[in-house]
Amino acid sequence: MRGIIEIKMTYSTSFIWLLLIVPAAAGLACLVLPSPKAALRTMLVGILAAAAAGCAVVATAARDGRLFAASGWLFVDGLSAFHLAVMLIVVSLSTGYAWIYFGEELRSGRLALKQARQFSGLWCGTMSAMSLVLVSNNLGIMWVGIEATTLLTAFLICVHVTRESLEAMWKYILICSVGVAFAFMGTLLAAASAQGVGIEPSEILLWTNLRSHALSLNPMLVKASFIFLLVGYGTKAGLAPMHNWLPDAHSQAPAPVSALFSGFMLSAALYCVMRFVPIAEAATGDAGWALNLLAGFGLLSIGVAASFILFQKNVKRFLAYSSMEHLGIIALGIGLGGFGTFAALFHTLNHSLGKTVSFFSAGRLGQMSGSHEMARLSGSVKRSPLWGLGLFSGILALIGAAPFALFMSEFQVLKAAMDRGSVWMTVLYLTGLAVVFIGALGHAISLAWGKPETELDPVKANGLERLLVLVPLCALLLLGLWMPGSLHALLNDAAEIVGSAVTKAPDAGRP
């Protein structure tokens, strides 16, 4: 029986390696292929193959609780399995969309072989790097994964080289590199806090070890570590006031890249912060200290985003500030603790679905009209009923209109704030949501049915385009009315990991 179990675990953990290796290999292949179509086709096949391996990892982790590989340096638990599932959804949808988006550019002569190779190779590499973040038990490797996403996605911003895209790329590199440097200092301080607690030096950065020995860690070093990590990874997540790179990068990047940024990459950075929350809460002995910091950054992000959303004239910059608002809601939910953690994780999934369909629609409409300025995109339903209604519905979902699922997760965060008895948090949260709702709804109505500056010929959509719009929107409607039991269980497992209190050292870092 033991041998059967070991064979089963070996078979299951092999999918973790496939998840990391397949997209990286596909990305390298894309760099040398002889034609743009071949590069895009290889990208599509590589991503879908990796997604299949990822689905096996998620299913196994959901069933067995934990998966370990590489002598415990790689692992998947409920929290990483949930985020991995969200990533697979976003990357798969965005890859299908990229096939359409760049296929159109290829037909119109706006995509050269060098650009197709660059995009395809970096796109596959980005999936591999994000997967590494999610399956890393070693916090140093997790940091490497985040740094790799910065370097890889920076060049995705300027697939089409312009003065504005180069400026956005350098701003992204400079600000996020400084942020990731802060996160590196926080990681070193986390290792320093574990000196003398009986952990082997080679395993001192394993998350399972730090969590198991959290009560024995140096509390002052843990507090310093968490501050550095929150600022560092919060910069990559686009939390205020470290958000300055976000609207420029989103507005200049191709639409598939913007969808990936907002749909998951920001959440991947916030995932790294979630990993440290239970350690910081247990080690400091100051209940709610780390949670209050996170809630404060969340409320600030909601407020800053709300003030900017009112005055946006570019639809992609508008959606970028919307991402900042929703990451703030997620941070606030985690900071509230308890039921708020469950709500925040549910909101992570909902925001990813809503933001991908919104960027898909904005990108295709901008591609048709040659601009992402809202004035040029007014009356988009007449131009393209599918993408126009997709953008309108996506914005409705993002501002929390019922019965979309974001209404439910935002309401759950509100309930968590009220259960905590924090009047000022509740008031600030509701005020931010109200300002965003009013401002964004005005933009949405104008984009859908406003008077266009120029009359444009209608464009028909194909079957894949319809799927890319309808699948996320139908999922948001379904989740707003009913939650599958398997999703509820996965969300509960993930929330327990973030919010659990450590009272003893139950396990080691190795399987």
Kindly report, residue by residue over 388-442, the tens digit of the pLDDT.
999 999 999 999 999 999 999 999 999 999 998 889 999 999 999 999 999 999 9
Q: End-to-end CA distance of the chain, in Å?
A: 18
Q: Is the peptide bond before 403 cis (omega within 30 degrees of 0)?
A: yes
- Name which of 303-307, 341-345, 364-368, 485-489 the model is least confident about: 364-368
Helices (H), 31-77: 36-64
At 371 the pLDDT is 87
At 277 the pLDDT is 96
- pLDDT (tens digit per residue) in 236-284: 999 999 999 999 998 899 999 999 999 999 999 999 999 999 999 999 8
At 65 the pLDDT is 80
Mean pLDDT of the chain: 91
pTM: 0.94
Percent of the chain with pLDDT over 70: 94
* Closest to 82 (Cα-Cα) out of 230, 218, 213, 270: 270
Distance from chain centroid for Cα 249: 15
Look up tokens 């985040």; give the residue: 146
At 7 the pLDDT is 42
Gap between the Cα atoms of 265 and 238, Å rounded: 10
* Closest to 65 (Cα-Cα) out of 500, 484, 492: 492
Cβ-based neighbours of 111, under 8 Å, separated by 6 or more: 36, 102, 105
At 456 the pLDDT is 59
Gap between the Cα atoms of 442 and 303, Å rounded: 18
At 384 the pLDDT is 86
pLDDT band at 6 (very low <50, low <70, confident <90, very high): very low
Rounded mean pLDDT of 103-114? 89
Gap between the Cα atoms of 233 and 465, Å rounded: 34
**Whether the Cβ atoms of residue 63 and residue 19 lie closer than 8 Å to each other:** no
**Whether the Cβ atoms of residue 271 and residue 348 lie closer than 8 Å to each other:** no
